Structure 1
């Protein structure tokens, strides 16, 4: 979600004050402001157990006068664009809590070649776990797109700081196991991008 540049502080302040109106309806996993890899952006993850639950939540929100008048009517004019994606955790990943608060998050998004996990699932898992197992980052979760841009997978990582991320990335580049796993996975890869994000004060994941 992109915010008009001069309104970023106002948007974050309003959201901090009124997010309880939204979390009264469904579970917020995390809410971040993007520091590197995008400008004037926020990124957030919400959990639903089914599509019917999401539909019911959206219907309830549209009928919630406080949400509409106190937040949506004020926040929407501050935005320049929005997009959403439905994802699910890949079978081998579980949502993890970082070992401490106060760190930074990296969202790495991979566009894979068509074919789905049956074609590239094992190679992707090996590439991700080769970083996670030795401690080259803390994997919070790995997700696969269901609606939105298809054949896209995301890995959400936690680091103590941006500098600590740079340090462990440098070490990973010299780890033969990581190099081999990545080399095997890139044959299935079309493109990738990443964002470094700071958790907002009200984000459950900090």
Structure 2
């Protein structure tokens, strides 16, 4: 595969005077200039609408960082990601022990859903459609890599008796586990508490290597058409584990609600454009429909 570097200068209003983008891309053996405002999009739309503070000290937005970083010399995760890290854990339980696992976890893991300084169990779901007897946990590292370095071995709480006991007692209930360290997309908000009962959909995309920045650019605009009903929960991509994976988590009040929201999205030309531009970047897609377990913070 040949890599060709393109440089283009983009004028932006306000405090973005002149910025340069250098982006390396190859698609279908053709080199293509990366244009964040394709189809004559104006700077007042799309990415500009996704501005968010990326640091407590300054007012750097995701857009500003995107246009001031040379992507040939900077890790792509630094361009499209935020400092928030998560561990996505898949636990495949023995069918006849699944109920025991849930009961024990409800008793012993509930306290770890509280807002803590190190780690937090944000979501705990039972897969209903997609992978039978699979439980999904979403842990948040409150201090990013510092929280990861504070771990001892594979334990979140190596000195907590409840957590140690939970691991010991559930070992015989689990067939297999695997996990991924994920970084939150810069244009996606952190998960917000939901008190009402929901069904959740975890959509996982395997992208072509080298396409993450282009994906993020299109979704930074497309997300505006997918959060009108507060259905967006989390958006992240893998940093450790199976790479080039994107995970989006959505919440719906019912299957009918899911159908209504998705159909309404297609009525917007901006959403159909996002789909048209991102489908060529995808190698495969998996979807899980999940329900919250009693000890989940996200209901």
1:22-56 Cα shifts (integer Å, max 9, x gaps): 55873111111111111001111111123342242
Name whichever of 36-45 and 121-130 sits farther off.
121-130
- When the two chains are superposed, the root-mean-square deviation of aligned CA atoms in Å is 2.3
The answer to whether the aligner puts 1:41 opposite 2:134 as a matched pair is yes
The equivalences for 1:1-206 within 5 A come to: 1-20=91-110, 22=112, 26-48=119-141, 49-58=143-152, 61-68=157-164, 70-97=165-192, 100-132=195-227, 134-135=228-229, 138-206=231-299
Greater RCO, 1 or 2 (C-alpha within 8 Å, sep 6+): 1
SS of aligned partner of 2:109: helix
1:159-203 Cα shifts (integer Å, max 9, x gaps): 111221123323434443322220111111111111111111221
Question: How many residues are treated as equivalent by the alignment?
Answer: 203
Q: What are structure 2's unaligned runs of at least 5 residues?
A: 1-90
TM-score by length of 1: 0.87
Contact 1:95/1:141 (<8 A) preserved: yes
SS of aligned partner of 1:85: strand
Using the TM superposition, give the Cα deviation of residue 67 of structure 1 relative to its aligned residue in structure 2, in angstroms.
2.8
> In 2, Cα distance between the equivalents of 1:3 and 1:124?
34
Alignment CA distance shift 1:20-1:175 (3 Å): closer
> In 2, Cα distance between the equivalents of 1:201 and 1:67?
17
Q: Spell out structure 1 runs of 4+ moving beyond 4 A.
A: 20-25
Name whichever of 123-132 and 157-166 sits farther off.
123-132
Of structures 1 and 2, the larger Rg is shown by 2
SS of aligned partner of 2:239: strand
Alignment CA distance shift 1:126-1:110 (3 Å): farther
Alignment CA distance shift 1:142-1:171 (3 Å): same
Contact 2:195/2:298 (<8 A) preserved: no
SS of aligned partner of 1:93: coil
Which protein has the bigger helix share? 1
Using the TM superposition, give the Cα deviation of residue 84 of structure 1 relative to its aligned residue in structure 2, in angstroms.
0.6
